[in-house]
Structure 1
Amino acid sequence: MVLHERQELPDFVREHDIDNVTLDIIENALKNIRYEMDRVLVTTAVSPIIREQADEFPLIADRQGRMVVGQFGSPVDTVLENSPYRVEDLKDGDVIATNDPYMMEGSTSHLPDILLVRPIFYEGDHVGYALQWGNLMDVGGKTAGSIPIDARSIYEEGVRMPPVKLYDGGKLNEEVLRFFCHNSRTPRETRADIMAIAAGTAAGAQRVKDICDRFGKETYLEACDALLDRTRTSIINLMRQLIPEGERFEFEDYTDDDGLGNGPIKLKLAMWREGDTLHLDWTGTDAQVPGPVNFLLNHRMFQMFAGVFLISAVDPTILFNDGYSDVIKVHIPEGSVLRPKDPAPLSNRLVVMARLFDVLGAVYAKAIGFNVSGSYGTSPNFVYSGVKPDGEPFQTMEILYGGIPAIPGKDGLDGHSWWPEFLAVPAEYMETYYPMIVEEYAARRDSCGAGQFRGGCGIRKVYRFLSDGRITYQDDRAHTYPYGVAGGKPGSPSKKTLIRKSGETVELPSKVSDVPVFEGDRLVFETAGAGGVGDPLERDPEAVARDVRWGLVSREAAGSEYGVVLGEDGSVDAAATESKREEIRASRPEPPAFDHGDLPPLAEQRRIIAETRRKFNEWLSHELGTARANGRG
C-alpha cells in the first residue's frame, strides 16, 4: 500500500497570519524547549528513576491550556477545575503542584507521579503554561516505593496532594514541601526531585519568553494556534487515507491479574470512522478490580495515544499536540478498569497501560490493512529497600524493560521501553549507591517471538543482595503471552526466581510486595519478549544465524522455529534449511492472524491465577513469620 505523504497546506497558510518559515522556526524552538526541560530535570534530580531513567515528561501549553508540544495531552483544565485558583488570579512565578490522579482525571496515573504547572507571562500578559511531571521514589503508603501489590484503595498507596501552590509569585511554600516530603520514606530524594521538576518548568517558561522577545507576543500566540491547526489537518488527512469509513474494527486482549488473584482482565476496543471523526470505544472492557492495576485513563491522553500511533507509524514529521482532540472521540465506560471510581487503587496501573497499547495497535492493524506490530513484552517496576550494615536506611527503584514488538520490515528492539527516551539504570550506579551486585544484565535468549521479523527479546537481570531487606515489584505477561501477528509467534512470558543463599529456589509470581530477602540471596528477574510479525520460515537464514551468534536465539530454536540448519561453525546449511522448512510447512496448521500462544480456556486461567496467588500468600506469610522470629527482615 502507499503510505501517507506529507502534504503542503496552502489553505491553512491563508487562515493564519504567519508565514511557513517563521512557523517552522517556532515549532522547532518549542521542540527544543521540551528537550531542554528534560535535560534540566535529569541532570539536577537525584533519584535513579528520574536521573538515570528519565521517567519524566514535559510539555508546553498555550494560554487556553492546550498542549502545543509534549506527549500526554494537557491536564491544565482539570487541575484548575479542582483547585481554588482561577486563571485570572494566576501570576508570574506561580507553580501549582499535585499528585492526585483523580483530581487530574488521570493525566498522571498514580501517586508517585507529581505534576507541576507553571503559568507563563510575558510583559504582564498570560501566554501559556510550562508543565512537567516526574516519578518520585516514594510518597508514603504501606509499601516502599508506593506501589503496594495488595492495596485495595488509593489511601494505602501514599499521601494525596490536591492542587496547591508550591510557589506563589516566585516564593517557595516551604510548609507544603515539608509536609509532602515528611510523608515519604525518601525525603531527601523527594525534595531534590521536586525542586528539579520546578527548575524544568522555569526553563520552559523562560524559553517561551525568549521566543516572544524574538518574534513578538502576538506572533507566538498565532504560531500556537497555527501549530495546533496544522496537526489537526494532518491527522484528518491520515485518517482519510488509512482508515476505511463505516467499518468497525475490534480487538481484545488480557492483563494477567490485579495482584490479588483476580484475572485475567479483559481490555476491549472498537474503532470506526465517520467522516473526519474517529471513534474509539472501550465498551466491553472488564469492570474495575479490587487490586491496584486499575488505570484511570484520561480521555485527552488516550486521544493523544491514538494520534501518536498514527504519527509514529506513518509520518513522524507531524507534531503531535492537542490540535486533533476534537476529531478523535473516546468512550471509556465509568467503573471499568480504565475508568475506576475513586478511591480505587491505581499504583500498579502500568500493566494495564501496556496492554492498552497492544489492543490499540491490533485495532489499527485491522483497520489500516497491514500488520503494524506484534505485542509488547513488559515494563515492570522494581523496589529494594532495607537497612545497610552500618545502620543507614536505603531504598532504590528502577524500571525494567521487555521486548519491543516487530513491525513489517524490521525486528523489534531487545530490552527496551515503549517510551523511546527511557534508559536503563547502569549497574555501576546501583552498585555504588545501594547494597547490591548486578551479576547479569543481558538479553533473554529465545524470549523473542519468532517471525519473518522477530520480536524483541526480554531481559534477564540477576541481583545479588548484600543487605537484608525487602523487594516489591509489579510485572505481567506471566500467564498470557505477547501475541504475534500474520504468522508471527508470541513472545515468551515473564518469570521471576528467588534463589536463597542456601540454594533454595522459589518461583515468584509476577506481582509481589514486601518479600523478605537476605544478604547473599539472588533474584533472577526475566521480562517478557515481544511478538513477531510474519512467517518465521520467511526469515532470512543469515539473520537467524546472526541471532544465534549474538546469543538471542538458540541453535535449537533456529531449527524448530525458523527451520534454519546451522553447521558446526555456525554457518547456514542452505540445502538442509530448505528441506527443513518444507518439512515444517507440510506439517503445521494455518497460522492465526493473531497468535496468543497455547493458552488454557479462560475459566482455567482464572483458576490457575487464583491458586498461584493463594500459594504465594501462604509462602510469604511463612517467610515473614520466620524473618520476624529470627529478628531479620
Structure 2
Amino acid sequence: MPDMSTVDPITLDIIENALKNARFEMDGVVVRISLSPVIREQHDEFPMICNHRGQMIVGQFGSYIPAIVEQFDGDLNEGDIFVWNDPYACKGSISHNNDWCVMMPIFHEGVLVGFSSIFGHMVDVGGKVPGSMPFDARTIWEEGLRVPPVRIYDKGVLNEGVLAIMLNNSRTPDMNRADLMALIAGCKTAAKRVGELCDRFGRETYMAATDMLLDRTRDAMKVLISKYISEEPVSFTDYVDDDGVGNGPFKMTLSIYMKDGKAVFDWTGTDDQAEGPINFHIHEGLCKLFFGVYMIMAFDPDILFNEGFYDLFEIILPEGSLLNPKFPAALSNRLNTHTRFFDCQAGALGQRAPHLSMAAGYGTSPHFIFTGHDSEGKYFQLMELLFGGVPGRPRGDGLDGHAWWPLFSATPIEYIENYYPVQVDSYRPVKDSGGPGLHRGGAGIEKVYRVLESGKISIHDDREVVPPWGINGGLFGGTSAKWIVRQTTGEKERIPSKIDNLEVEAGDVIIFRTAGSGGWGDPYERPAEEVARDVRYDLVSPEKALEGYGVVLGDDLSLDVAATEKLRAERRAERGEPEPFNFGFTPQSA
C-alpha cells in the first residue's frame, strides 16, 4: 500500500487537476478522430481514468474495470487493449450493444498503476434495423453483434480478426472503425499523461495520491449521508410510458434510507422486466455512482466524484425487474428507463431536502434515424440524439432543449444538411412545455426535418403519456409528440413515440417534439415581469401565463400589475399550500 503521508496538499491538488485535464484531453482526442455525428458532434462517449485496482478517480462512468480484469485472471500486459459491447458478458458495465467499450491497463516501468477506459455509442452494430435499436425487440439477439471482453490489441499488436468481425456486422463500418480507433487513441492519451505524472512526482506518490482522492470523497459523502438520508425510508414512484410492444406504463419505485451507517437505495416495487427493449441492465457499482453523482451535484458540487464512497452505499435491485432483467431480455432502448432513474432519485432525495432537489426532466434520449440511398446509390444513415427540457431547480430556471449529459451538444444543422439528404426547416423551443414554477421548467424542442430522398425513418422517444412532474409547488411540464406531413397529400399524421422503418418519400416533413420538464417552486411567486418576458420570447403563451402563473397581460402583452396581484391573491387563498409534487398523471388514466 502506498504511503499517503508522503503526499502534501499542494501535490495532491496538482495531481487531481492534472487527472481532470487528462480526462478532458481524452474527450478532445476522441472527437477529433471520430467520424460519426453521434460521437464527433454530439460527444456520446464517456472516458475515465482509474487506479491500479480499477476504481474510477476521474470520469463519468465507473465501476466496471474489476469485473473485466477478473475474467482475464490478472493476465494484463503492456500494449494490451480490450474491447467489448455485450452488456450481459460484462455485468452491465455498458447497457446496450451500441456502446463499444475500450479498456487499457497503464504501466509505469513495468508496474501496473491504473487503467484508462472509454465507451462510445456506435451508429450501427447490426441487428434487424438500421441503428441497431429496434423498438419492438423482445430479445437481445435482435439488437446486433455482441462482443464479450476480448483483446483488440495484444501486447501492442492489432487483432485484425476481432476487428474484421466487428466491422463486418455493421451497416456503417467506416464510421465504426474511425470511432473505435478514436476511443483507443483517447485511452492511450490518458496512459501517456499518467506516465508523465509518475515520472514527475514518483510512482509511489502518484498511487498514494489516487487513494487519497478516493478517501477525501468518501469522507465528504459520509457527511452528506448523515445530513440528507434518514433511517425512516422515503419512497418515490415514476413511470416509463411503454416498452414499444404494447405494454405499459411501467412503474419504477425507489426507497432510500439509512441502515448501519450506509445509505440504502432499494428498487423493490419496480415492475418486472419488460417484454420490449426498455430494460436497463445496470451494474450495481454503476448504480452507486449515479446516486453518488446526484448527491454531490445537488448537495455539494465542489466534491470530486469518484468511487471512494462505494462502501457507504447498498443497492437492492430485484432480480427479473426492469433494472435487473434476466438474459436474454432486450436492452436497446434502455435510456427511457435509465433517465427515469434520475427522476426517481430527485423525487426521493427531494423529500428530505426539497430546497436542494429538482423537478423531473424530459426523461429519455430521443433518437431520430433516417436511412436510405442517395441519388448516386450511396447508402446513408443519419442518427441524431435530440434533447428536451432540463427541469427547474433551486438555482434557477431549467434549460431549454438541453441534454442530460453535461458535455453533450446538438448536432449542427450545417453538419446534417451537408452530409445527409435532409433539410432542417426549423429548430425551436416548444411553447408552454416548461412547467410553471418559481423557476420555470426547461422547454422541449421542436425540430422539423424535410427529407430530400426516399428512405425510412425510426423514432425512439418517451414521456408522451407520463408528463415530467413539478416539485415544491411547481407544475408538470409538456409531453412529447411526433407527426409526418406527406408531400403528396399535405395531410398531417401522428407518429407513435416508438417506431422503426417508417417509409418516407422525398419532400415529406417530420415534426419531432420532445418533452419539456417540471417547474420548481410556487408559480405564483415567480416575478410577473419574468413571465411577461417569457411570453415575449415565445416560451410561454398568454393563456398559460394566466392559467399557470396568474399573470394578466394586455392585448399588447403589457403587464397588468394590479390585476395580476389581485388574481394571484385569490388563487393562493383558494389553493392553500401547494403540493410537494405535481404529476398531471395517474396510472389508471393511461
TM-score in same-fold range (> 0.5)? yes
Which residue is equivalent to 2:59?
A: 70
From 551, 565, 590, the equivalent of 2:552 is 565
Residue 453 of structure 1: how far off its partner (Å)? 0.8
From 528, 531, 538, the equivalent of 1:541 is 528
Partner Cα separation in structure 2 for residue 80 and residue 384 of structure 1: 38
Contact (CA 8 Å) 2:4, 2:209: kept in 1 or not?
no
In structure 2, do the counterparts of structure 1 residues 369 and 448 end up closer, same or farther at CA, with 3 Å as the change threshold? closer
Partner Cα separation in structure 1 for residue 273 and residue 329 of structure 2: 8
Does residue 330 of structure 1 match 2:284?
Answer: no
Matches within 5 A, 1:192-591: 192-244=178-230, 246-370=231-355, 372-377=357-362, 378-501=364-487, 502-588=489-575, 591=578
Partner Cα separation in structure 2 for residue 192 and residue 15 of structure 1: 41
Residue 342 of structure 1: how far off its partner (Å)? 1.1
Greater Cα offset, 62-71 or 138-147: 62-71
Residue 590 of structure 1: how far off its partner (Å)? 5.3
Partner Cα separation in structure 2 for residue 430 and residue 496 of structure 1: 20
3-state SS of the aligned residue for 1:548? helix
The one-letter code sitting in structure 2 at the alignment partner of 1:536 is P
3-state SS of the aligned residue for 1:368? coil
Partner Cα separation in structure 1 for residue 68 and residue 430 of structure 2: 42
Corresponding pairs, count: 587
The one-letter code sitting in structure 1 at the alignment partner of 2:76 is L
Matches within 5 A, 1:50-69: 50-69=39-58
Normalised by the length of structure 2, the TM-score is: 0.97
Greater Cα offset, 313-322 or 23-32: 313-322
Partner Cα separation in structure 2 for residue 356 and residue 369 of structure 1: 18
CA-to-partner distance for each residue in 1:285-319, whole Å, 9 max, x for gaps? 00001100000011111111111111111222211
Partner Cα separation in structure 2 for residue 43 and residue 436 of structure 1: 24
Normalised by the length of structure 1, the TM-score is: 0.91
Which residue is equivalent to 1:3?
A: none
Partner Cα separation in structure 2 for residue 14 and residue 231 of structure 1: 18
Residue 546 of structure 1: how far off its partner (Å)? 1.3
Partner Cα separation in structure 1 for residue 392 and residue 320 of structure 2: 34
Residue 584 of structure 1: how far off its partner (Å)? 3.0
Residue 555 of structure 1: how far off its partner (Å)? 1.4
Residue 14 of structure 1: how far off its partner (Å)? 10
Residue 534 of structure 1: how far off its partner (Å)? 1.3
Matches within 5 A, 1:110-259: 110-244=96-230, 246-259=231-244
3-state SS of the aligned residue for 2:107? strand
The one-letter code sitting in structure 2 at the alignment partner of 1:539 is R
Q: Give the fraction of aligned pairs with identical amino acids, expressed as a percent.
A: 49
Residue 583 of structure 1: how far off its partner (Å)? 3.6
Residue 371 of structure 1: how far off its partner (Å)? 5.4
Contact (CA 8 Å) 1:371, 1:486: kept in 2 or not?
no
Contact (CA 8 Å) 1:114, 1:135: kept in 2 or not?
yes
Residue 570 of structure 1: how far off its partner (Å)? 3.2
Which residue is equivalent to 1:620?
A: none
Partner Cα separation in structure 2 for residue 604 and residue 545 of structure 1: 33
CA-to-partner distance for each residue in 1:193-251, whole Å, 9 max, x for gaps? 0011100000011100010010011111101111111110111011122323x211100
Contact (CA 8 Å) 1:79, 1:103: kept in 2 or not?
no
Q: Which runs of 4+ in 1 moved over 4 A?
A: 586-590
3-state SS of the aligned residue for 1:326? helix
Partner Cα separation in structure 1 for residue 148 and residue 283 of structure 2: 17
3-state SS of the aligned residue for 2:88? helix
Which residue is equivalent to 1:612?
A: none
Greater Cα offset, 376-385 or 191-200: 376-385
Contact (CA 8 Å) 2:469, 2:583: kept in 1 or not?
yes
